[in-house]
Amino acid sequence: MSQKSITSFFKITPKKESDGIVDRQKEDKSSADKSLTEDTSSSAAATKRSSKRLRSESVENEQPCASRSPSPVTSTKKKKVKRQRIESSGSEADLSKGSDEETIPVKLERNDSPKTYSSPKTKRNKSKLTKSNQDNVKTIEYNESCNQYDSPNEKSPKENKSPKSVKTPKKQRSPKERSESPEEKPKIKTEKKSPSPAKSATKAKGPMEKFMESNNMMRSFVKREKIVSSQDDVVAVHTMDASTHTLLPEVEYNPGKAKYHPVKDACWTAGQPVPYLALARTLEAVEATSARLKMVDILSNYFRSVIALTPQDLLPSIYLCLNQLGPAYLGLELGVAETYLMKAVGGCTGRSLAQVRAAAQRLGELGAAAQQARAAQRMLCAPAPLQVRKLHAALKDLAAITGQASVNKKISKIQALFVACRHSEAKYLIRSLEGKLRVGLAEQSLLQALALAAARTPPAGPHASCLDRADTMSPDDFKAVVEEHALVIKTTYCECPNYELVVPALLQHGALELPRHCRLTPGIPLKPMLAHPARGVHEIFSRFENEKFTCEWKYDGERAQIHVPGEEAPRLADARIFSRNQEDNTTKYPDVLARLPALLKPTVTSCVLDCEAVAYDPVNKQILPFQVLSTRKRKDASAAEVRVQVCVFVFDLLLLNARALCREPLAERRRLLREHFVESPGTWEFARAQDCSGAEEVQHFLELSVRGSCEGLMVKALHGERAHYDIARRSRNWLKLKKDYLEGGGDSIDAVVIGAYRGRGRRAGRFGGFLLACYDPAGERYQTLCKIGTGFSDRDLDAFTEQLQRHVIDAPRNYYSYETSQAPDVWVEATCVWEVRCADLSLSPAHRAALGLIDRDKGVSLRFPRFVRVREDKRAEEATSAEQIARMYLAQDSVRNNHTAHNMDDDDFY
């Protein structure tokens, strides 16, 4: 189409949106012509023709889809009409290679449909260039510093200040194309001239720049993604297909998809923060399945995408999956009561507290009620979507709010998060704030998923460029690789239970290098090794046949793990004492820390000791019951406030002078303990031990321990691999033999109180009975175990009634598993743990403990249970598990020979 035809077209075409662009160019015509006259010596006729070309080219340049090279005019004039270029896989990007006068497409928007007008020769050039460049694929890399994708092999024109502009390399143009542009040389020379800073600064961005900045069109042409983590400069480079793909909507994200691709099936792009909705969709998929292997596979797919695209979001993703804010020993807790959460939800959705409570009762949980209320809400201006990293940071800030008006501040912050929720985000946000995610995901399953993700999409190492390593090897070989990764990651986390150290090391060095970078460190508490119960002396010799073992007194106290850091000398001021569940109990035992120097010999610079803190009468030199120890102030005690003296019995040494000893046999650890530490009667003592070889010796030593106010014996292997300290394992290499076993009572059980029955007769006016449950970590549920009303004094009942009244709830939680016939008068939160004993265990259709592990329709119940004591050192999740209940049932002589062996790992991580 000739220039005259184009001019005629605009005269007869009604004004559209694009005509405003022409009007603006006409307004600038006089100034552009004046500038052109000052800088060139061309004739007036040439200037007029150039101005006409300029108008038509400007119309084209303002269209978002245009892809052109600069027209052959001087630099002063080009400043007004400079066009931006998009690298595209289509042939329109190559039209600039032809003659400028012959390739001037004009695009108009008619009913949102772009229409291009061009000359016949333009169409021929387009067809020719498309054929010659159809295989031309460019490499785009993500640049984190400017949040965009750039071409690493190309340079933008110097005068182009827009970060999105890309110049076509000269080498891509054929000689014939160069010969068709007689003005190319002056054009190239002019392009190398940079406009003055003043003029460039005042230049307004055209629609093309604004369009590209808002849409980032280059994301569709990624061939190679370079991800640079801002955390510890972790760098992971992954290669993917050069073919384009459409970004998946977040609401359609499905990590449970078969043959999941960590990049193509993700709902975010490289370098973008992970949307919280992606994690919520993952938790939905995990919650919807009961198969552990499927859970691991779903979560590992999500982790693979995070590793490949945004590795710096892996740590907050792990914390949100575990519903943790940080390491357990830091004591970070949200502390948001359910009533406050209901107020926050009601305030955001226009519902009263009674309406929110009624919805929660109807749906079984507040999270589901919150999701339903949020879905019915419409907003004129939607807030920014939630991101994984920002949500985790906001929850940490929420936990740090204390002091006056802290409740109102917390509610306000919760509301700000809640209004930004989309779809299932509201449900999982509220659950996180409640402290119970309840998707059936145990920490060991998460570690297995992390190992699978690291094996399949390695974050570092020789296979870091592979997105799916499973495709490069046989199934058996890949299974072996996954098992190796899982063992290394789980063992490393046991020795260094801090994800803030483990995850960065995993991303930077790979899974197999973790032991070199994450070691047992004083100040980071370990999960202790635990023992299995033995029902008699005969079981000890059956387990340790032809092996040497030792027997130690089992003290009735509280587990204490003492950490003393130091390099050249011990830093006693930084010493810490941790409980069995990794809580920092340092302020509970100021008297123990004060006499710590008396324990260490000069040869000790650092150490980690496993001990038992026991209430002790220094006058009578006698061990006191655990109930006496429980009367000590739990936190922030001063030496003057100590009323109950303690003696610390040391029985193991896990680290000495920066050397980890967990892989050393017990005989060597015990030798080093007695060589480098000093006993002090009544304050520091070694656990009383005896190496036994006969049943009579064991029986006699057990009777001595009972007379010494102990619970019984701990029996441990002395030599070989069985004598290692297995962190975070309940192992049969340690057996506990209690006096109750000899009386036929079996091991005690730590049960959780989930309900109460109102008392009658002499117990009227208070609770007279209670409903107890065990904990099922696989399903994150509490399964009813028995009713109990025996073993309580009147003082106990008064205290428990007052305590449980503070935890009464309107309806049972949806994670309480019970029979309606056993429903209590009052439901309570699962917070209190009691130690109980019983005559034996039996199958019962009235209770749900270990349901499905032994019988499909019956659970396990306790016969004649009686209350022993309160376990203040245990959380509800640390109560006796459903699997332990099943083991105890099967270990009974009456049923041992009547059931086939069940697939239960004796020495698995707990």
Query: In order of start, what are the domains of the chain with their CATH numbers?
Result: 3-138+151-215 (no CATH), 248-323+441-517 (1.10.3260.10), 330-434 (1.10.3260.10), 530-740 (3.30.470.30), 749-896 (2.40.50.140)
Mean pLDDT of the 629-643 span:
85
- The pLDDT, as a whole number, for residue 676 is 97
Element (H, E) at 768: strand 767-776
* The residue to which tokens 């061009």 are assigned: 118
167 vs 698, which has greater pLDDT? 698
Backbone angles phi, psi at 716, to 5 degrees: -135, 145
Q: What is the pLDDT of residue 175?
A: 40
Segment 12-24 mean pLDDT: 49
In 10 A of CB 824, how many CB atoms? 20
* Mean pLDDT comparison of 79-83, 194-198, 737-741, highest-scoring range: 737-741
Of 120-134, 283-297, 615-629, 698-712, give the lowest mean pLDDT range. 120-134
User: 84 with 209: CB under 8 angstroms?
Assistant: yes
What pLDDT does residue 897 have?
57
Determine which helix (DSSP H) or strand (DSSP E) holds 119, and give its type and residue range: none
pLDDT for 839: 83
Mean pLDDT over 582-601 rounds to: 93
Residue 678 has pLDDT above 90, yes or no: yes
**In the prediction, which pLDDT does 530 show?**
92
Q: Which pLDDT belongs to residue 902? A: 52
More confident residue, 472 or 637: 472
pLDDT, residue 15, reads: 52
Q: Hunting for tokens 């190679």 — which residue is that?
A: 224
User: In what helix (H) or strand (E) does residue 458 lie, and over which residues does it extend?
Assistant: none
d(CA 315, CA 319): 6
The pLDDT confidence band at residue 131, using thresholds 50, 70 and 90, is very low
**Range with lowest mean pLDDT among 106-115, 271-280, 437-446:** 106-115
Please, what sign has the CA dihedral across residues 127, 128, 130, 131? positive
Bigger pLDDT: 209 vs 580: 580
Q: Which two tokens stand for residue 696?
A: 């009579």
- Would you give the DSSP letter of residue 744? T
Residues 6+ apart with CB under 8 A from 353: 339, 342, 343, 346
Q: In terms of C-beta density within 10 A (0-12 exposed, 13-18 middle, 19 or more buried), how is residue 216 classed?
A: middle
pLDDT for position 531 = 93
Q: Give all strands (DSSP E) within 483-539, no chain letters.
A: 530-533
For the chain, what percent of residues have pLDDT higher than 90? 54
Look up residue 123 and give its two tokens. 């169409």
Taking residues 219-233, what's their average pLDDT? Answer: 37
Q: Which one is predicted more confidently, 729 or 227?
A: 729
DSSP code of residue 204: P
Confidence bin at 370 (pLDDT 50/70/90): very high
Query: Distances in Å between the alpha carbon of 196 and those of 41, 75, 76, 259, 520?
Result: 22, 11, 10, 55, 61
Task: Report the percentage of the chain scoring pLDDT > 70.
Answer: 70
Exposure class string for 369-386: b at 16+ Cβ within 10 A, else e: bbbbbbeeeeeeeeeeeb
Confidence of residue 107 (pLDDT cuts 50, 70, 90): very low
Residue 741: predicted pLDDT:
58
Alpha helices by DSSP H, listed for 116-264, are: 120-132, 175-179, 184-191, 197-202, 207-215
pLDDT of residue 845: 92
State yes or no: pLDDT of 101 exceeds 80: no
Q: How far apart are CA 850 and CA 773, in angstroms?
A: 10
Q: Which residues pair with 851 in a beta bridge?
A: none
pLDDT of residue 745: 52
pLDDT of residue 203: 43
| Confidence at 207, pLDDT banded by 50, 70, 90 | very low
512 pLDDT exceeds 90?
Answer: yes
pLDDT of residue 908: 65
pLDDT, residue 904, reads 54
> What pLDDT does residue 238 have?
44
Which of the following is catalytic: 126, 436, 490, 554?
554
Lowest-confidence pick of 649-653, 801-805, 843-847, 890-894: 890-894
Position 801 pLDDT exceeds 90: yes
pLDDT exceeds cutoff 90 at 363? no
Write down the H helix ranges in 584-623.
590-594
Among this protein's residues, is 554 annotated catalytic?
A: yes
| Predicted local confidence at residue 461, as pLDDT | 87
- What's the mean pLDDT when you consider all of the chain? 78
- Residue 538: what pLDDT? 86
* pLDDT value for 182: 40
Whether pLDDT at 696 is above 60: yes
Report which of residues 73 and 870 the model is more confident about.
870
Tally DSSP H helices, then E strands, for the chain: 32, 28
